[in-house]
Amino acid sequence: MPDGARGRSEPILEVNDLKTIFRTRDGEVHAVNDVSFAVKPGELLGVVGESGSGKSVTMMSLMGLLPMPPAEIVKGEIRYDGRDVRAMSPAELRDLRGGDVGFVFQDPMTSLNPVFTVGYQIVEPLRVHLGLSKKAARVRAAELLALVGIPDATARLRDYPHQFSGGMRQRVMIAIALACDPKVLIADEPTTALDVTIQAQIIELVKDLREKLGMAIIWITHDLGVVAGIADRVMVMYGGQIVEHGPVRELFARPQHPYTRALLETVPRVDGTRDARLRSIEGQPPNLAAHPASCPFAARCGHVMDRCLRENPARRDVGAGHDVACFWDPATGGLRDAG
């Protein structure tokens, strides 16, 4: 795999050929198709994709957060710190979640329990995972709230979620995710529901915490601007597959996949030149009812060739840790050399 070749340290989380399907009344939905990636300690991996691209389902599959059935992990290998996650018992998995792996979800109002105080919800993982006494957990909880920048932390432990604003609630979510010193933090669109000025606060906070605590972060978003500012590496997903992956500067400077290129062109900016007309990507995202025998982007691609309709391209290395799943070569405008 392209990821394994770079860097010295061992990945903390490694995923190989993961495939997740949903069995519904209308047939199977192939939500995640042969997804492979790895994250090293201290690294921030950005995952970009539209709704339905499989980015959230991938991350939820990793930690057994999907309801099964209807979901089913058909194949693939998930390794956390060398241990096989798929072989773990429910109790081991529960230890991993909230312990070594923290989650932050998009909507802080629906993921916090409205009838318990914020303090109770931060103390809970500390007591369960770390076995702290009530008193010690309370002290640690106040430290965590202070760490994520909530003023008057000890007093606010007694408050309920509705007494916090949106940005503050997201800080509480981050505090809960950080409670047990996770080695990996999975953040699923953590700033999407927030205003830009609050988003800027949260991004600064996460950058800061990452430096202080040195954990690996997987940051799922649909906003290319956010990824450009914080990620070390970026993975672009489309139709349940990884279509392009590479170091952030390399990927933004030399996007290879027509989808990534179109995505970068279609987003207007607040500075620089302003185009008279937006470049749009015509058509709709693919229906994932069948395992794709062709490239999932073929129907919307401006460079579609015969081969794209017959075969689903595999990811191939294009140098500098950058890989792409596409037959088209932007350098020549024709078929990429069969590697």
Q: Which residues bind another protein (CB under 8 A)?
A: 50-51, 165-168, 195-201, 203-204, 222-229, 231, 248-249, 252-253, 262-264, 266-271, 274-275, 277-282, 284-285
Structure tokens at 23: 């069995």
Name residues whose C-beta falls within 8 Å of residue 149's C-beta, 6 or more positions apart in sequence: 171, 201, 205
Q: Which is nearer to another protein, 271 or 337 (CB)?
A: 271
Residue closer to another protein (CB basis): 73 or 281: 281
Closer Cβ to another protein, 180 or 227, answer by number? 227
Nearer to another protein, 60 or 231 (CB): 231
Q: Whose Cβ is closer to another protein: residue 77's or residue 107's?
A: 107
Token digits of residue 257: 């996949």
How would DSSP label each residue in 125-159?
HHHHHH---HHHHHHHHHHHHHHTT-SSHHHHTTS
Whose Cβ is closer to another protein: residue 99's or residue 285's? 285
Distance of closest approach, residue 236 Cβ to another protein, in angstroms: 12
Q: Give the number of C-alpha atoms closer than 13 A to the C-alpha of residue 297, restricted to the C-beta side.
A: 29
**Starting from the edge strand earliest in sequence, which strands make up the sheet with 71-80, in order?**
27-39, 13-24, 71-80, 83-84
Nearest alpha carbon to residue 46 among 197, 251, 268: 251
In the complex with another protein, which residue's Cβ is closer, 95 or 223?
223
The amino acid at 126: L
Which residue in 118, 117, 79 sits closest to 100, CA to CA?
79
Q: What is the DSSP string of 300-317?
A: G-TT--HHHHH-PPPPEE
- Residue closer to another protein by CB (options 63, 217) is 217
Q: Least distance in Å: CB of 197 to another protein?
A: 5
Contact of 244 with 262, CB cutoff 8 Å: no
Distance in Å, CB of 242 to another protein, minimum = 17
> What's the token pair of residue 339?
């590697």
* Distance of closest approach, residue 233 Cβ to another protein, in angstroms: 11
Shortest distance, position 168 Cβ to another protein, whole Å:
7
Work out how close the CB of 174 gets to another protein at its nearest, in angstroms, rounded to a whole number: 16
Give Cα separations from 228 to 212, 221, 222, 264 (angstroms). 21, 11, 12, 11
- Shortest Cβ distance from residue 276 to another protein (Å)? 9
Question: Which residue spans within the chain are E strands per DSSP?
Answer: 13-24, 27-39, 44-48, 71-80, 83-84, 101-104, 184-188, 216-221, 233-238, 241-247, 316-317, 323-324, 328-329, 334-335
By beta-carbon proximity to another protein, the closer residue of 181 and 195 is: 195
**Three-state DSSP class for residue 204:** helix
Task: Supply the minimum distance, in Å, between the C-beta of residue 57 and another protein.
Answer: 16
